[in-house]
């Protein structure tokens, strides 16, 4: 009996120790099933957060889009020009040009088509046709040629106002350097108001081609006659020349373009008359090696800007009006200079800073046969002299 009581007591103690969970003396607790882990060693990746593009990346993409758009719109209006001439058409040359209207007129450089007996024009789509010269101008180095095509097949480019160009603005050159058709290069306007020597038709009196645009956009042989474009895809100049180191004809970072305002004026006259007339004052200078300011210091001139007349052309407008050239020769830094002549400081009230400035002013704003008022300094006097402009000698 005592044995039974002891067994019951042991069972009650076990129940208390089990946290008072009630179960049968003969019950076996059911084991708890653990969840099965799948790929437990590979934690779930955190969701990715999308970041905004860097502002510089956005700006670069916008520039790329702009340049692509300029090319797509302008390239159909740019042409490749191949010329042949001489005996049996054995002399060859090539250059570029661009369409200016739906009548088939194309602008290029005079030196591209000068002496050509046959001109072939290749368009961006690969089609080829012949062209004839409408007119050429050696002074500006511009020419207009014409192809006979339907208007629907022509994509004229727009001529902008080159006076609005700024140093530092982005520009694009499209042309055919070394025969590589449809090449585009990019740069900036790196200078304005440059001067290039201009060919004289007679091979005599030398004149200058003023108001030239300077660019660092790569221009090489074959680019001549092609357009220089602004960011709107408008023509601001005609690529014409490069400056090299003299050992090769490759670009060295300095190229030159004839401004579009010159193109407008010259092309209009070529289309109308087949030639261009320029107003002519009939004075020459000896100061090509110096600025007027340098001469002013060396010769003790009363002004630092203007045109010191070295001589007047016999029978020319200046001589007829009574303007005077130098009366003595002096040496400035080892170079002979005629001194004592009148100093032109203004024409029709507009200040004239240099000889190149005067040539550019007359070409852009005055007409043959027009009478202008020339302001000069003679000794201690300031005089205003009326001068009727002649046509530049051909």
Size (the chain), residues: 394
Angle at Cα 204 formed by Cα 208 and Cα 96, nearest 5°? 50
Question: Can you list the positions of beta strands (E) in 18-117?
Answer: 78-85, 91-99, 105-109
Q: Indicate whether 188 and 123 sit together in one domain.
A: no
Q: Indicate whether 385 and 345 sit together in one domain.
A: yes
Q: Indicate whether 303 and 210 sit together in one domain.
A: no
Q: Indicate whether 322 and 353 sit together in one domain.
A: yes
What six digits make up the tokens of 169? 């603005």
Complete DSSP assignment for 165-214: --TT-EEEEEE-GGG-TTEEEEEEEEEEEEEEEE--TTS-S-EEEEEEEE
Find the catalytic residue in 82, 94, 105, 111.
111
Task: Kindly state whether residue 7 falls inside one of the protein's structural domains.
Answer: no
> What is the CATH classification number for the domain harbouring 109?
2.40.10.10
Q: Indicate whether 172 and 245 sit together in one domain.
A: yes
Q: Which pLDDT does position 43 carry in this prediction? A: 56
What six digits make up the tokens of 36? 């099965």
**The domain boundary residue, chosen from 244, 273, 302:** 273
d(CA 218, CA 296): 38
Question: Is 105 one of the annotated active-site residues of the chain?
Answer: no
Q: Indicate whether 135 and 216 sit together in one domain.
A: no
Under a CB-based contact definition with an 8 Å cutoff, are residues 184 and 194 in contact? Answer: no
Q: Which domain holds residue 353?
A: 279-391
pLDDT in tens, 331-371: 888 888 899 999 999 999 999 998 888 999 999 999 999 99
What six digits make up the tokens of 366? 């005055």
Sign of CA dihedral 163, 167, 168, 171: positive
pTM for this structure?
A: 0.79
Neighbours of 350 (CB within 10 A): 11
Q: Residue 231 to residues 68, 156, 157, 209, 238: CA-CA distances in angstroms?
A: 11, 17, 13, 26, 16
What six digits make up the tokens of 372? 């202008």
Q: Which pLDDT does position 29 carry in this prediction? A: 43
Q: Indicate whether 320 and 249 sit together in one domain.
A: no
Which element (helix H / strand E) includes 53?
none
What six digits make up the tokens of 309? 């007349």
Question: Is 289 one of the annotated active-site residues of the chain?
Answer: no
Q: Which pLDDT does position 111 carry in this prediction? A: 94
pLDDT in tens, 71-117: 999 999 999 999 999 877 777 899 999 999 999 999 999 999 999 99
d(CA 109, CA 94): 11
Q: Indicate whether 221 and 267 sit together in one domain.
A: yes
Under a CB-based contact definition with an 8 Å cutoff, are residues 234 and 250 in contact? Answer: no
State how beta strands 207-215 and 183-198 pair: antiparallel
Q: CB under 8 Å to 6, separation ≥6 — which residues?
A: none
Q: Which pLDDT does position 250 carry in this prediction? A: 61
Q: Which pLDDT does position 186 carry in this prediction? A: 96
Under a CB-based contact definition with an 8 Å cutoff, are residues 373 and 384 in contact? Answer: yes
Find the catalytic residue in 224, 260, 284, 354.
224
Complete DSSP assignment for 242-289: E---SS--S--S-EEEEEHHHHHHHHHHHHHHSS---EE--EE-S-TT
Which element (helix H / strand E) includes 374?
strand 371-378
Q: Indicate whether 387 and 284 sit together in one domain.
A: yes
Task: Kindly state whether residue 46 falls inside one of the protein's structural domains.
Answer: no
- Three-state SS for 15-34 is HHHCCCCCCCCCCCCCCCCC
Question: Is 141 one of the annotated active-site residues of the chain?
Answer: yes
Phi, psi (rounded to 5 degrees) for 7? -65, -40
Find the catalytic residue in 141, 216, 286, 357.
141
**Total number of domains constituting the chain:** 3
Q: Indicate whether 198 and 175 sit together in one domain.
A: yes
Q: Which pLDDT does position 62 carry in this prediction? A: 86
State how beta strands 381-388 and 371-378 pair: antiparallel
Specify which residues 122 forms β-bridges with: 80, 128
Task: Kindly state whether residue 243 falls inside one of the protein's structural domains.
Answer: yes
Low-confidence ranges of the chain (pLDDT < 50): 1-32, 36-38, 40
């Amino acid at each position: 009996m005592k044995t039974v009581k002891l067994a019951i007591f042991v069972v009650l103690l076990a129940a208390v120790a089990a946290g008072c969970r009630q179960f049968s003396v003969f019950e076996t607790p059911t084991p708890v099933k653990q969840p099965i882990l799948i790929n437990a060693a590979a934690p779930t990746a955190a969701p990715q957060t999308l970041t905004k593009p860097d502002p510089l990346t956005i700006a670069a993409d916008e520039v790329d889009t702009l340049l692509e758009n300029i090319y797509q719109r302008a390239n159909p209006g740019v042409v490749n020009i191949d010329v042949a001439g001489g005996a049996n058409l054995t002399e060859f040359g090539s250059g570029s040009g661009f369409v200016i209207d739906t009548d088939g007129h194309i602008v290029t450089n005079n030196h591209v088509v000068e002496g050509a007996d046959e001109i072939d024009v290749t368009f961006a789509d690969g089609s080829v046709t012949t062209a004839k010269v409408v007119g050429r101008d050696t002074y500006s180095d511009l020419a207009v040629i014409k192809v006979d095509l339907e208007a629907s097949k022509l994509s004229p480019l727009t001529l902008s106002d080159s006076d609005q160009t700024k140093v530092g603005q982005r520009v694009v050159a499209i042309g055919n350097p070394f025969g590589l058709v449809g090449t585009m290069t990019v740069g900036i306007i790196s200078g304005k108001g440059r001067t290039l020597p201009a060919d004289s038709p007679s091979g005599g009196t030398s004149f200058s081609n003023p108001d030239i645009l300077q660019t660092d956009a790569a221009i090489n042989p074959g680019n001549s006659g092609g357009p220089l474009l602004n960011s709107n895809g408008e023509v601001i100049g005609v690529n014409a020349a490069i400056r090299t180191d003299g050992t090769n004809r490759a670009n060295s970072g300095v190229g030159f373009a004839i401004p579009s305002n010159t193109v407008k004026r010259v092309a209009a006259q070529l289309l109308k008359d087949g030639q261009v007339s320029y107003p002519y004052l009939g004075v020459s200078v000896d100061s090509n090696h110096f600025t007027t300011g340098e001469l002013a210091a060396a010769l003790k001139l009363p002004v630092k800007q203007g045109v010191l007349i070295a001589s007047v052309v016999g029978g020319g407008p200046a001589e007829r009006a009574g303007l005077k050239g130098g009366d003595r020769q002096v040496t400035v830094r080892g170079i002979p200079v005629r001194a004592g002549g009148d100093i032109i400081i203004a024409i029709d009230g507009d200040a004239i800073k240099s000889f190149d400035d005067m040539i550019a002013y007359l070409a852009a704003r005055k007409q043959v046969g027009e009478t202008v008022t020339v302001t000069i300094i003679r000794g201690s006097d300031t005089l205003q002299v009326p001068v009727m402009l002649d046509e530049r000698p051909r």
